[in-house]
DNA sequence: ATGAAAGCGCTAACAG
DNA sequence: CTGTTAGCGCTTTCAT
């Protein structure tokens, strides 16, 4: 079945293509009667606009690019839900890309965004990303970018994130307030900015309470799935920890069963994690956590991007969302 | 900074636009020397193709539509990961839509797909969808559709799913094999096809083992977040269940803390669920589950769609993935 | 091996 | 209120 286009409708109704276009767009100086006729014909002939033609001509795209390192089962789904909640109320569609935490892929995706004429970019940078130079091309093309969650200081791009250092600091102090003296911190890849920030907050809390600290004894970093159990088990057997700060949901879900199986949690060791709270709340016994909402990060970053789209002159903002202890 | 296009490059190099186009596309009857010159110039002038112009002209889009009811923290992220794993190796981009389990929205999205000239559709139907008539327009436009996970029998569209009835049957039999005599089944909305299928499998297993059954005593359906705890608690207090089949991860994560808090699990009641295994594996004590992999459903459906794209004449297939008990 | 020319479907001046 | 016209950037046929 051949698809009908504006020209077809124009011929059927003895009108000019431009009139059809304007009628369908609800342009105000087309008579109501014509609008009705055109819309009925469009319905009858199953007319659907060709968006490539439209956006090609109009030099826009109604597309927002969402660039994420990957999908997980915790924070990212909530983030996606928040972003969609905001953009579903608009005409924008979302085109999603995954960098697989690979900087070169991230860079390619950025170019792809230009090719798609996306109107805005929501970016959570890859673990490998060390600066934001690869975003210059977006700035030059006047495409607003909002960095979310994993961010770098920037005067060119708006940021929506939490205070990672402070959040980790508060989490660690929760353990200290419980009387913990030997606290283990479990972190991700140590060369990632966010990990360094959270680690700094963790160390700072220990330092301020005059607690002993050594990298070997108090920090477990960059555990990959294969040797995580081994490394954590070794550490737990080497020393009697009474507290454990876990940087994220992923790591918490790796550590939790080990700590329970070794009968350490909940009786011998206090836990705390930074979590988006979606699934961790079902664990029994409960793990206290600092609530870091993917949904809120998502909605706020989407809203900030919308503001940039509505006002191209708006300058970059830096929004730091609050986190709160849940126990 | 003005973006350069093929015409600009043509002028700079004293070549025709068509030559530039062919050189960039690696067309074989352009000399190597010209190709090199063109590519260097493209690099130098930061040329990026205008995909709307290209796809408008070529009447395709390199877009795949992924239509999902919603995001959750269990099955859907794995599904997305699987789909992206497959399409990342191709030139296709994925444009994601969420129907919010609303049939009318799903229908609108389908039309939107036509407007975007998407080349294929991956669809997990909404809870409200009762038939597939709204997909006729895709068939007429010769756009292949793969239905995933939540499917309806169809000769027009390929299906990738599990045998819901059989899976629930096997799960229930696992409980029976543990000696359970009073088994509670927890299900989603009873008007949804998949729920009915899983319920049929559940009932059938009870029936074949001559176990007592009543809708009021053995089935909890359509629990929404507000009154789930109340309804489940009432049921658990009305009767001494020794087994509980839970239809999905979402429901398992709602029921689990209640069953643990009431000291029923793991000592007084056996559990089983159908799960994609991603986060449920961290629960202690463990819940046995029938592994229903979102990742596999995702990769298989993406592969099937790719086959349809490569061979437009291919007829619809029905792929039923196996499920396996994990304990 | 390269060029000339047409046209995809749509919208936005401009004209009346 | 409606029509005429041009052209967005690209690819492809046809010609050389």
- Please state the three-class secondary structure of A258-317 as a single string: HHHHCCCCCCCCEEEEEECCCCHHHCCCCCCEEECCHHHHHHHHHHHHHHHHHCCCCCCC
- Provide, rounded to the nearest whole percent, the portion of chain A with pLDDT above 70: 99
pLDDT per residue over A154-181, tens digit each? 999 999 999 999 999 999 999 999 999 9
Does B128 lie in the same domain as B109? yes
Does A269 lie in the same domain as A190? yes
Closest-CA residue to B184 (of B75, B282, B285, B273): B273
Show which positions of strand D are touched by protein (CB under 7 A): 1-13
Residue numbers of B between 44 and 83 with CB closer than 8 Å to A = 46, 48-53, 55-56, 61, 70-74, 76-78, 80-81
Residue A184 domain flag = yes
Residue A80 domain flag = yes
Residues of A in contact with B55 (CB under 8 A): 52
Closest-CA residue to A185 (of A220, A212, A213): A220
pLDDT per residue over A190-223, tens digit each? 999 999 999 999 999 999 999 989 998 999 998 6
Does A277 lie in the same domain as A180? yes
Closest residue, CA to C1' of C13: A18
Residue B1 domain flag = no
Q: What is the distance in angstroms measured between the alpha-carbon CA of A24 and the sugar C1' of D3?
A: 17
Residues of B in contact with A46 (CB under 8 A): 137
Please tell me the distance from the alpha carbon of residue A279 to that of residue A277, in angstroms, as a whole number: 6
The whole-number pLDDT of residue B90 equals 94
Q: Tell whether the model's pLDDT for residue A224 goes beyond 90.
A: no
Residue numbers of A between 188 and 207 with CB closer than 8 Å to B = none
Q: How many domains does chain A have?
A: 3
Give how far A14 is from chain B: nearest CA, Å. Answer: 24
- Angle between helix B193-208 and helix B164-177 axes, rounded to 10 deg: 40
Q: What is the distance in angstroms measured between the alpha-carbon CA of A46 and the sugar C1' of D2?
A: 24
Residue A143 domain flag = yes
pLDDT band at residue A57, thresholds of 50, 70 and 90? very high
Does B285 lie in the same domain as B175? yes
Residue numbers of A between 120 and 179 with CB closer than 8 Å to B = 137, 140-141
Q: What is the distance in angstroms measured between the alpha-carbon CA of B283 and the sugar C1' of C10?
A: 56
The whole-number pLDDT of residue B224 equals 74
Give how far B51 is from chain A: nearest CA, Å. Answer: 6
The whole-number pLDDT of residue A118 equals 97
Does B118 lie in the same domain as B28? no
Q: Tell whether the model's pLDDT for residue A23 goes beyond 80.
A: yes
Segments forming the whole domain that contains residue B40: 6-49
Show which positions of strand C are touched by protein (CB under 7 A): 1-13
Contact A282 B278 (CB under 8 A): no
* Residues B300, B160 contacting (CB under 8 angstroms): yes
Q: What does the angle CA A47 – CA A96 – CA A106 come to, to the nearest 5 degrees? A: 135
B85–A contact, CB cutoff 8 A: no
Q: Compute, in degrees rounded to 10, the torsion defined by CA atoms A37, A42, A44, A48.
A: -170
Q: What is the distance in angstroms measured between the alpha-carbon CA of B264 and the sugar C1' of C12?
A: 71
Best of B71, B106, B262 to disrupt the A interface (most A CBs within 10 Å) is: B71
The whole-number pLDDT of residue A177 equals 97
Give how far B34 is from chain A: nearest CA, Å. Answer: 23
Residue B72 domain flag = yes
Residue A1 domain flag = no
Residue B91 domain flag = yes
Q: Tell whether the model's pLDDT for residue A226 goes beyond 80.
A: no
Nucleotide nearest to B31 (CA to C1'): C1
Q: Tell whether the model's pLDDT for residue A143 goes beyond 90.
A: yes
Residue A32 domain flag = yes
Please tell me the distance from the alpha carbon of residue A163 to that of residue A43, in angstroms, as a whole number: 52
Mean pLDDT of chain A: 95
Does B112 lie in the same domain as B17? no
DSSP assigned state of B33: H
Q: Give one DSSP letter per residue of A13-82, joined into a string.
A: HT--HHHHHHHHTT-TTS-HHHHHHHHHHHHHTT----HHHHHHHHT---EEEEEES---SSHHHHHHHH
Helix then strand then coil, % of chain B, to nearest 5: 45, 15, 40
The whole-number pLDDT of residue A222 equals 80
- Please say whether the dihedral angle defined by the alpha carbons of residues B16, B22, B28 and B33, taken in this order, is positive or negative: positive
Does B315 lie in the same domain as B260? no
Does A321 lie in the same domain as A281? no
Q: What's A270's domain CATH number?
A: 3.40.50.2300
Each residue's pLDDT, cut to its tens digit, for chain B (327 residues) gives: 778 999 999 999 999 999 999 999 999 889 999 999 999 999 999 999 999 999 999 999 999 999 999 999 999 999 999 999 999 999 999 999 999 999 999 999 999 999 999 999 999 999 999 999 999 999 999 999 999 999 999 999 999 999 999 999 999 999 999 999 999 999 999 999 999 999 999 999 999 999 989 999 999 998 677 789 999 999 999 999 999 999 999 999 999 999 999 999 999 999 999 999 999 999 999 999 999 999 999 999 999 999 999 999 999 999 999 999 998
Contact A77 B76 (CB under 8 A): yes
Residue B170: which H helix or E strand, with range?
helix B164-177
Does A241 lie in the same domain as A179? yes
Does A270 lie in the same domain as A207? yes
Does B91 lie in the same domain as B23? no
A267–B contact, CB cutoff 8 A: no
Q: What is the model's pTM?
A: 0.94
Count of A-B CB contacts under 8 Å:
120
Does A157 lie in the same domain as A242? no
């Amino acid at each position: 079945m051949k698809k009908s286009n504006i020209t077809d409708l124009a011929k059927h109704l003895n009108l000019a293509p431009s009139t059809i276009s304007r009628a369908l767009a609800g342009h105000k100086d087309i008579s109501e009667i014509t609008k009705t006729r055109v819309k009925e014909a469009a319905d009858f002939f199953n007319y659907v606009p060709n968006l490539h033609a439209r956006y090609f001509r109009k030099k826009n795209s109604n597309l927002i690019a969402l660039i994420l390192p990957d999908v997980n089962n915790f924070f990212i789904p909530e983030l996606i839900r928040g972003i969609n909640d905001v953009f579903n109320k608009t005409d924008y569609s979302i085109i999603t890309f995954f960098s697989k935490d690979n900087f070169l892929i991230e860079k390619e995706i950025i170019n792809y965004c230009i090719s798609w004429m996306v109107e805005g970019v929501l970016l959570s940078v890859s673990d490998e990303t060390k600066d934001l130079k690869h975003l210059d091309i977006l700035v030059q093309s006047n495409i607003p970018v909002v960095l979310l969650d994993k961010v770098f200081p920037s005067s060119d791009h708006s940021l929506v994130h939490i205070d990672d250092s402070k959040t980790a600091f508060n989490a660690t102090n929760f353990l200290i307030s419980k009387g913990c003296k030997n606290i283990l911190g479990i972190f991700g890849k140590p060369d990632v900015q966010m990990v360094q920030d959270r680690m700094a907050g963790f160390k700072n809390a220990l330092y301020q309470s005059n607690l002993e600290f050594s990298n070997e004894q108090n920090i477990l970093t960059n555990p990959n799935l294969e040797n995580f159990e081994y490394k954590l088990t070794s550490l737990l057997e080497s020393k009697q920890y009474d507290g454990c700060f876990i940087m994220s949901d992923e790591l918490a879900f790796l550590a939790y069963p080990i700590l329970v199986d070794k009968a350490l949690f909940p009786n011998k060791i206090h836990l705390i994690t930074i979590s988006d709270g979606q699934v961790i709340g079902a664990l029994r016994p409960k793990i206290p956590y600092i609530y870091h909402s993917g949904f809120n990060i998502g909605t706020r970053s989407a809203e900030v991007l919308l503001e940039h789209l509505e006002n191209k002159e708006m300058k970059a903002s830096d929004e730091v969302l609050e986190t709160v202890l849940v126990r």
